[in-house]
A and B are shown apart, each in its own frame.
Chain A
Amino acid sequence: MPSKNITLVTGAGGFIGGWVAETLYLNGERVRAGVHNWSGAARPARFRMEIVPCNIMEPAELDAAMQGVTRVIHCAKGADESIAQGTRNVLEAAHKHGVERFVHVSTTEVFGEQSGSIDESFPCQSMHDSYADNKILAEEVCWEYHDKGLPLVILRPPIVYGPFSKTFTVNLAYKLLAGNWGIFKGAADGICNLIYATDLVDGILLAAKNDDAVGQVFILNGPERPTWNEYFERFNHELGLPPLKVYESQGIGFKTKLMEPLRDSIKFARSRFERLIKLVAAKQRQARRAMKFVETRMKTMPRVHDLKLYGRKAVYVSSKAHHLLAFQPSVGLDEGLRMSVQWLEQIGMRNFQHTKGAR
């Protein structure tokens, strides 16, 4: 029998929100999948679940989406600059509708550049990164509403990977398949705190159901702690690709810094003249070829902030979640990567290097 309680998942068209909504639905619970707009509905629409427009910057949409909801799992992010205000809007609607449990999915990025063994007692620290700083602000807004009586819990996952992950699965696979990626000696020896998507969902649902979770912050990390270079190597191996090239840290650091102004210029040009650029690319063969070359290089080289992340020697400890929530991540890296690659094959990605000669 489906439960009478309705769970609203914001960001249900996205990676983590999608996993949460699907898992709830498949567990027989009543779920309302909130999507930023209809374009984001392709994933939840595979199931016969309720899908509602739920742009977190639109209070009227949130108000409608919140009708009859007892639990909110807030996974929507939106643009960096709308993270805090969007979270405030969701909290306000939840508070108004008397929601019984609010789970805010934050990130370990709020710890900033701190290294070593980090648990929930460590302070949030800005690293002057728009995403992380806005996530810190969003957490502060959460505490405002907790003080107003909204029973909420904050979760901080680190690097989440698995099927449907754009950043750490699709984009990384693209880089590996393009053949330009590698082992960045000395530059990617930091700890890759990975958690597989379903392990994270388990943690989220435990936090959503356990009364002891209210008013708490939990780190939810996976069972293994490879370095980033190990992650690249193991992913590359699972894709069945030849061994990665090895880059010395100095060279890659220099190249990355050199590329940064070019990246910014391209980003600026695209934001201003996208239509014109597309038109030129469509009409001029040589321009199209050059643009494609530059685009591929840009997409398949690390950026400055990537190298910062890859070099960070922090381990995020989730013993509090183990003890209080009985959180027990179970998907090891080999299994997680195996499923990720199977999924990539299914979406037509794995074999794309076969067309490289066509560029």
Chain B
Amino acid sequence: MTNSKTPRIAVIGCGAIAEEYYLPALASFPSVMENLILVDRDQARLDKFTAKYQVRRSARDHREVQNEADGVIIALPTGLHAPIGVEFLSRKIPVLCEKPLAEDAAHARILIEMAHQKETALAVNYLQRIIPHFAHVKKLLSEKTYGAPLKMEYVIGEIFNWPTVSGFYFQSDPSTRGILRDRGAHAVDHICWWLGGKPDLLSSYNDAFGGSEAVAHVAFEKDACKGRLVMSWFADVPCRFSIECERGTIEGEIYDYQKLIITEGGRKREVFVNSPIHTKLDVAREIVSNFIAVIEKGAKPLVQGADVLESIEFTDEAYEKTQLLDMPWYRSAEVRDAV
């Protein structure tokens, strides 16, 4: 017997993100778990998770659950977010979509427009907006605590080790891009969010020879602030950001969720942001808890589709104008021809 009072959530796609993030977070809500539906075309994955989480209902095709689900979590390869998200939104079923919202701004707009038309919530898992130190940076910049930002540097360097099941990241479908579309979804979102809107693109370089890039360098400018985003999947480098403002500098490490370093008047000090959010799983619980409230009480999503549209537009522009990085280690006659 299922509990008919709690919302019936369907997780569409049981790949790595469902396994590592959504299912462990949903497990914190036992009544929701009682009614959970898992959808994946791979029966072995379904069997694995229905057994692990004692889920009673599963399906191989998302269309089977369109009349059952009160809300869906879309955890599919990026290229499927828009077509499948739209199917649920058009039936007025709230959607929580994994990042990036869509493979490009055109598809993101389709989702956002459908959500608007049907007055149905479209939440997105741009989880990093609710991580305490990132949110604190937003506050400091919005309140101009140290004056206007003048220079921003954002560096992400980590060996790609996401246990992708489908390998969709690296297949030659043009809708699946590399690090800028994937890991960069958060970074570009931060930049747009912190700066209060989409910056102008100054330059964009990457290392893709027709495939998906693993290194991306993007330079941007908004008002008086010039910035640079450097991303790589080739080595674990301390991931960090630094924002030089008129009267001080704000620095932080991406994975140190509660700490910032503030330099003001030549003095450096650590600032700790107290919050119950310490881990990625804490964030996931927040996102899922909010989505349950969206379904049950019509609450506002923590991050809505429309909130991240500018960052997707910026990413599109960066791809459109990208040039090949100078890689002298590939410099030979054959390589020049290939490039």
Residues of A within 8 A of B (CB): 22, 25-28, 37-39, 41-49, 51, 53, 162-164, 166, 170, 197-198, 278-279, 282-283, 285, 288, 339, 342-344, 346-349, 351-352, 354-355, 357-358
Is there an interface contact between B234 and A339, defined as CB atoms closer than 8 Å?
no
Is there an interface contact between A26 and B335, defined as CB atoms closer than 8 Å?
yes
**B 235-262 binary contact with A (CB < 8 Å = 1; else 0):** 1011010100000000111001111010
**What separation, in Å, do the CA atoms of A358 and B260 have in the docked complex?**
8
What's the minimum C-beta distance from B230 to chain A, rounded to whole angstroms?
4
What's the minimum C-beta distance from A126 to chain B, rounded to whole angstroms?
31
Is there an interface contact between A346 and B164, defined as CB atoms closer than 8 Å?
no
| Chain A residue contacts of B230, Cβ below 8 A | 347-348
For A279, A285, A358, the residue with the greatest tally of chain B CB atoms inside 10 Å of its CB is: A358
| Chain B residue contacts of A354, Cβ below 8 A | 242
Is there an interface contact between B164 and A164, defined as CB atoms closer than 8 Å?
no
| Chain B residue contacts of A44, Cβ below 8 A | 170, 211
Give the residue name and chain of the A residue nearest to B336 (CB): A26
Is there an interface contact between B160 and A42, defined as CB atoms closer than 8 Å?
yes
8 Å CB contact of B212 from A46, A162, A288:
A46
8 Å CB contact of A48 from B155, B160, B211:
B211
**What separation, in Å, do the CA atoms of A51 and B160 have in the docked complex?**
16
For B165, B169, B272, the residue with the greatest tally of chain A CB atoms inside 10 Å of its CB is: B169
**What separation, in Å, do the CA atoms of A51 and B173 have in the docked complex?**
13
Is there an interface contact between A41 and B156, defined as CB atoms closer than 8 Å?
no
Query: With A38-B169, A352-B237 as given contacts, are A358 and B334 in contact (CB-CB < 8 Å)?
Result: no
Is there an interface contact between B178 and A46, defined as CB atoms closer than 8 Å?
yes
**What separation, in Å, do the CA atoms of A283 and B281 have in the docked complex?**
12
Q: Is the interface of A mostly helix, strand, loop or mixed?
A: helix
Additional pairs, 4, CB under 8 Å, beyond known A46-B213, A348-B230: A22-B330, A46-B207, A48-B211, A339-B329
| Chain A residue contacts of B238, Cβ below 8 A | 352, 355
What's the minimum C-beta distance from A63 to chain B, rounded to whole angstroms?
19
Query: With A38-B169, A45-B178, A164-B234 as given contacts, are A346 and B325 in contact (CB-CB < 8 Å)?
Result: yes
**What separation, in Å, do the CA atoms of A38 and B258 have in the docked complex?**
33
**What separation, in Å, do the CA atoms of A44 and B272 have in the docked complex?**
41
What's the minimum C-beta distance from B277 to chain A, rounded to whole angstroms?
10
| Chain B residue contacts of A51, Cβ below 8 A | 170
8 Å CB contact of A355 from B161, B213, B234, B240:
B240
**What separation, in Å, do the CA atoms of A39 and B209 have in the docked complex?**
19
What's the minimum C-beta distance from A9 to chain B, rounded to whole angstroms?
16
